[in-house]
A and B are shown apart, each in its own frame.
Chain A
Amino acid sequence: MLEIRNLHVSIAGKPILKGIDLSLRPGEVHAIMGPNGSGKSTLAQVLAGREGYEISAGSVRYLGRDLLPLPPEERARAGLFLAFQYPLEIPGVANAQLLRTALNGQRRARGEAEIDAFDFLEFVQDKLALLGMDESFLYRAVNEGFSGGEKKRNEILQMAVLAPRLAILDETDSGLDIDALHVVARGVNSLRSNERAILLVTHYQRLLNFIEPDRVHVLAGGRIVRSGGPGLALELEAKGYAWLADAQTVAQTVAEEASP
């Protein structure tokens, strides 16, 4: 489903990702962990099509297509979704309006009929119920004045409405209380199927208690320095990153971060 090969990305001449290899098959859930500044969000944003990154080498295939030349909206229409680490506010635009515009845009792109306001309301109410969110969220401006946790839930609501083939969640669990964590887990688990894949970026093992990953990868210094089963996350939780065989790379990253 997703095939990343030797991906090198830099920002303003500074290399951030230094040769990423990663494959996700349909039905799989992978987690990416790693120290702050190691390039996790960079990878997520590059996959979603954010401009301004220099992709100096490598390739990404998604559902058999070359992903990198596609603008973000075409990736979204092809079923790729990114839950942002820092969701944006869109003043004056009701959440419901964005959700419906986005859903209908994607349906149109797939040659499906648009969904009218009434059917949409019914559809979205189900999703709200699933996530334990109040209907008033629909009528508030997108993320405006939302608490940190509410913004994260709102990302999950968007994901639930758009039902992506590949969902990338960038630290959606950060800053959540324990109930909200359950909500996010429920949202993600309800999407799990053998046609979809999920890539979770997280710092915490506790999310993985609720969403069991097939694989766990450690990203450090722009490289995947370790991959393993769910047990790897537990190990990281207990020991931190420094123990890794490739501790040198980690140390090097830390040094690079420190120097201007």
Chain B
Amino acid sequence: MSNPDLQQQIEREYRWGFVTDIEQEPFPQGLDEAVIRRISAQKGEPAFLLEWRLKAYRHWLTLREPTWATVTHPPIDYQGIQYYAAPRSGNRPKSLAEVDPQLLATYEKLGIPLQEREALAGIAVDAVFDSVSVATTFKDKLETLGILFCSFSEAVREHPELVRQYLGSVVPYSDNYFACLNAAVFSDGSFVYVPKGVRCPMELSTYFRINASNTGQFERTLVIADVGASVSYLEGCTAPRRDENQLHAAVVELIALKDARIKYSTVQNWYPGDAEGQGGIYNFVTKRGDCRGERAHISWTQVETGSAITWKYPGCILRGDGSVGEFYSVALTHHRQQADTGSKMIHIGRDTRSTIVSKGISAGHGSNAYRGLVKVLAGAEGARNHTRCDSLLMGPDCAAHTYPYIEVKNPSARVEHEASASRIGEDQLFYLRSRGLGEEDAINLIVNGFCKEVFKELPMEFAVEAQKLLAVSLEGAVG
């Protein structure tokens, strides 16, 4: 690369790495039953929820951290983490006017204005800052359609029956080590309920921000689309740059009833650590959707550019006959980032269909593993899966792995797996440069072409954002 000038150097920094100086509610470090009781009390939770948390905690004590993923990290000191961090502005503000201006400014700076402006009329936002949701926009407007969109804590208070019915019904507290920890200590997150036959008229989105140091973020999101309902939901995430690693162990549960449709898109840009691998978020997340009725449709789209380590396998349980699950993923690892990600599609109903498209990009010393499970149970007559799994490598030091697991118990099922690995070739780069494109533009063009099938699944604004994010994340990847 020819003389990167100062401007480029500055741009290469993680742009979302600033810290908001805001006073925090004091909270002890470490984890025991008292801490869990305290989180629950802080939120004024009903007894059933505290019971559930405690059950999860006791179960967690019997589990061990999983070691099967293709990632390495020093041991995590679970007693060194603070499990709850809330900005000290008393109770959650009743309206946007009451939100701490410093928080509003933080989101403004992140490009997520919380004002219900005309320009953003198409997107309703729930903003989660460390452990609490600080604002939700367009709530009232949505309520006129019967759509509930609020923080998880508020849902627990206002709609405990829905929470009780659906919480843990897709990802039980005992599911895995990190999901179990989340069940014990989860702090906040978003809640969506779209009633029968309602198509949500705007994109719903949650913007997660980790600000406090030395804390973990354990959010929990629950999206329910009732019979014939449909909703598109987006989440975005950033964190300040810090030298220590921070744990983010979230759980997302989606429930689509008969003929319902949920589209869930993620642009994950947690702080990835520096070029030498110092700092960064451990993103250990469990996401699963349940197509609980006939012809239900759940679609996951993710663009994972951040985090020191990403460990997540958004999946679908295709229970209803004729239900459809989709997973579209771009995962990029640069410098010392590691990703072990993929999808799980469990075919239970007849004529269920699933599609997996995974695009892994590795640069620098990045390591990128695709791990996917396609399981067809005996009753899933006529089930179909198609998996495409492509890796793009840049430079000699990065790695890509593919681990497809296929279990088929019904002979009429058709399961197809395609995989490819390629390098950005000198020839391709020269071809584009000989047309007048600079080296980085040439790389971006090739990478965007590689990711196209996934980007076209994203809502328009997010697709543009995702392209920019890839470009920034890959700066300095060649040369």
Contacts and interface: CB of A to CB of B under 8 A. Distances in A.
A73 B436 CA distance: 4
A80 B445 CA distance: 21
A76 interface: yes
Contacts of A51: 426, 430
Interface residues of B, number: 24
Interface in A218-234: none
A254 to B, nearest CB: 28
Interface string A78-115: 00011010011011110001100110011001000000
A73 B439 contact: yes
Contacts of A81: 434
B431 A84 contact: yes
B431 A73 contact: no
B450 A73 contact: no
A222 to B, nearest CB: 22
A88 B436 contact: no
B447 to A, nearest CB: 9
Given A52-B426, A88-B427, A88-B431, A93 B437 contact: no
Given A51-B426, A71-B2, A97-B445, A92 B451 contact: yes
B477 interface: no
Contacts of B445: 90, 93, 97-98, 101
A124 to B, nearest CB: 14
A77 B2 CA distance: 16
Contact of A73 (B426, B427, B438): B438
B59 interface: no
B142 interface: no
A105 B433 CA distance: 11
Most buried by A among B425, B433, B435, B441: B435
Nearest to A73: B433
B197 interface: no
A87 to B, nearest CB: 7
A90 B449 contact: yes
B479 to A, nearest CB: 11
B109 interface: no
Most buried by B among A81, A87, A101: A101
Contact of A91 (B433, B437, B450): B450
The dominant DSSP class at the B interface is helix
A2 interface: no
A90 B433 CA distance: 13
A162 B430 contact: no
B453 interface: yes
A76 B430 CA distance: 11
A102 B431 contact: no
A88 B445 CA distance: 14
A109 B436 contact: yes
Nearest to B445: A93
Nearest to A91: B449
Contacts of A162: 435-436
Contacts of B401: none
A147 B425 CA distance: 21
Interface string B166-202: 0000000000000000000000000000000000000
A102 B433 contact: no
Contacts of A88: 425, 427-428, 431
B417 interface: no
Contacts of B446: 90, 93
B12 interface: no
Contacts of B436: 73, 76-77, 102, 105-106, 109, 162
Contact of B435 (A71, A76, A141): A76
Interface in B280-327: none
Given A90-B445, A105-B436, A105-B441, A72 B430 contact: yes
Interface string B224-258: 00000000000000000000000000000000000
B15 interface: no
A93 B448 contact: yes
A158 interface: yes
A50 B431 CA distance: 9
A49 interface: yes
A191 interface: no
Contacts of A106: 436
Contacts of B463: none
A211 interface: no
B110 interface: no
Nearest to A143: B431
Interface of A: 48-52, 71-73, 75-77, 81-82, 84, 87-88, 90-93, 97-98, 101-102, 105-106, 109, 141, 158, 162
17 contacts: A48-B434, A49-B430, A71-B439, A76-B434, A77-B436, A84-B431, A84-B434, A88-B431, A90-B449, A92-B448, A92-B449, A92-B450, A92-B452, A101-B441, A102-B437, A105-B437, A162-B436
Interface of B: 2, 425-428, 430-439, 441, 445-446, 448-453
Given A105-B441, A162-B435, 11 more contacts: A51-B426, A72-B430, A73-B436, A75-B434, A84-B431, A88-B425, A88-B428, A92-B450, A93-B445, A102-B437, A141-B449
In order of increasing CB-CB distance, the 9 nearest A-B pairs are A92-B449, A93-B449, A76-B436, A92-B452, A102-B435, A72-B433, A88-B431, A105-B436, A106-B436
